[in-house]
Amino acid sequence: MCGISEPIKYGHDAIVAQNTFDFAVGHVVSWVGGHWIFTARRAQRQSREVTVTLYFFDTHAHIQRSRSGRCPDVRNLLLRARQTGVRAVLAPAVDHADWDTLAKITPPRGLNLYVAWGLHPYFVCEVTPSESATIVEELYDRVTSATSELRTRLRAIGECGLDFARAQSPEVRAHQVRVFRAQIDLARATGLPMSIHCVRASGPLLELLRERPTPPAVMHAFSGSAQTALSLVAAGHYISFAANVCVPGARKVIEAARAVPDDRLLLETDSPDQTPPSRRPAPNEPAFIIDVARRLAELRGAELEAIATLTRDNARRVFGVEEPLALHEFDDDDQP
């Protein structure tokens, strides 16, 4: 039980450590030395110390990128994530240069790193249709001929999708649709799920996904309505929430976060973007996933531990992860 040599006592009014917050009625939680500690007020009005360790799967983190460009200090980023309970990360590509970068990252022991290869709709806006056609062809070749070692880590196609806020003209929108449709076809051909970005394009997105049977996909950093979320769930897909649910007054996405059934709910940071409000102005990172989990637990009236567990299990299912996650702490010298 790393870092805790004797019980640490927190009264219900005592907020004394970093990352302290109300867990639920009658609880106080703190992240201390690798464990979540909370004091539970029991029905008999007794208090007792309980140690809970929470483990997370961050289903969307661009660890290969910083806000200012490529390659932040990935190793320390992942060590900090591991230290705060993250046990798996899916890192999606934005463009073709990311594919090899992601494949070469070696995560620290005990943190499983998975990758998605694809082309982001932002990137599609920056290249010509003939350039994207060549890159899509390369994506097909490389994914369908991936070695078994790479396939163990390559668990999704993405980040791909539609962003009609970025693409205003009919031509650019049609270009995004073409490139996205090609990636949907690749998902169908390989059986891999997609990590999908969708902004102001939920109608066309649903149409494209319904054209033919499509493997379950992940709607990343979902920002749509509860109705759209439930339509996607009905079509077999998963809904992943980032820190936009933490923004006060984000009524539409909050309704969606309450509506998604337990077995389709996922957690992500979308780091380095979408820093939770309480962490700003720091760039976002997987270690901050606890903020999203805490908010979802609050919105859904659920235990934080239940949110961590069910989202982790859902992520393993949709990404076809068979290897076990290390659900214990690390006492080694691999500290950030």
Binding site for Zn ion (CB under 5 A): 159
Residue that the structure tokens 């079509």 belong to? 235
Does the N-terminal peptide bond of residue 336 adopt cis geometry, omega within 30 degrees of 0? no
CB 16 within 8 A of CB 28: no
Dihedral sign (CA 301, 306, 312, 313):
negative
CB 99 within 8 A of CB 135: no
Q: How far is the CB of 26 from Zn ion (least distance, A)?
A: 37
The structure tokens listed for 76 are: 């320390």
Q: Are strands 194-199 and 47-52 parallel, antiparallel or unpaired?
A: unpaired
* Residue 230 C-beta: closest distance to Zn ion, Å: 23
| 208 backbone dihedrals φ, ψ, rounded to 5° | -65, -40
Pick between residue 195 and residue 214 the one whose CB is nearest to Zn ion: 195
Residue nearest Zn ion by beta-carbon distance: 159
CA dihedral of residues 119, 123, 129, 133 (deg, nearest 10)? -20
Looking at the Cβ atoms of 58 and 159, the one nearer to Zn ion is 159
Nearer to Zn ion, 159 or 298 (CB): 159
Least distance (Å) from Zn ion to the CB of residue 271?
A: 9
Distance in Å, CB of 45 to Zn ion, minimum = 47
- Residue pair 259/226 in contact by the 8 Å Cβ criterion: yes
Output 63 or 111, the one with its CB closest to Zn ion.
63
Q: Compare residues 35 and 155 and give the one whose CB is closer to Zn ion.
A: 155
Tokens of 247: 């923004």
Looking at beta carbons only, is 200 or 258 nearer to Zn ion? Answer: 200
Pick 159 or 163: Cβ nearer Zn ion: 159
Name the region of 210 (left: φ>0; alpha: ψ -120 to 50; beta: rest).
alpha
Backbone angles phi, psi at 144, to 5 degrees: -75, -20
Q: Tell me whether residue 159 or residue 285 sits nearer to Zn ion (CB atom).
A: 159
CB of 123 to Zn ion, least distance (A): 11
47 token code pair: 């208090």
Q: What is the DSSP string of 62-126?
A: -TTEETTEE---HHHHHHHHHHTTEEEEEEE-SSHHHHHHHHHPPPPTT-EEEEEE---HHHHHH
Length of the chain as a residue count: 336
